[in-house]
Amino acid sequence: MIKTLGGRRLGVTSSHKRSLMRNMAVSLFLHERVETTIMKAKELRPYAEKLITHAKNGKHFMVRKEIHNRVAYKKLFDVLATRYQDRKGGYTRVHRMGRRMGDNAETGLISLVQ
């Protein structure tokens, strides 16, 4: 029997999901908020928080392996890592926004905590 391990499927392949998480994390770091579906926001939360924790601990290689955007990489280390230096976790927050008009999917806003 095949068990679903490792999070939500999101209806895409594993490589597509990895690219989706990378792109959404870059957008989150650059704009400090992303509007998306609730399921994608819940899947993005631990991914982004691990990257912020790696940046706080100075693990440049671990972050560079995932983030390929130079501007987001620089902002992550210069701005966000110093902002959350004394915080132990919980860098993101998910707000529910309502339902999307086209397909009635529940949308939400994931944002960085100040």
Q: CA-CA distance, 57 to 65, in Å (whole number)?
A: 15
Main-chain phi, psi angles of 66, to 5 degrees = -100, -40
Q: What pLDDT, on the 0 to 100 scale, is given for residue 4?
A: 66
Q: Which CATH number fits domain 32-112: 3.40.50.1860, 3.90.1030.10, 3.40.50.12780, 3.30.70.2860?
A: 3.90.1030.10
Domain boundaries, the chain: 32-112
Q: Does residue 1 have a pLDDT over 80? A: no
pLDDT digits (tens, 9 = 90+) for 49-93: 999 999 999 999 999 999 999 999 999 999 999 999 999 999 999
The angle subtended at Cα 31 by Cα 55 and Cα 18, nearest 5°, is: 60
Q: Is the pTM of this model over 0.95?
A: no
Give 11-37 pLDDT, tens digit per residue: 899 899 999 999 999 999 999 999 999
Burial (0-12, 13-18, 19+ Cβ within 10 Å), 101: exposed
Q: Determine the pLDDT at residue 54.
A: 98
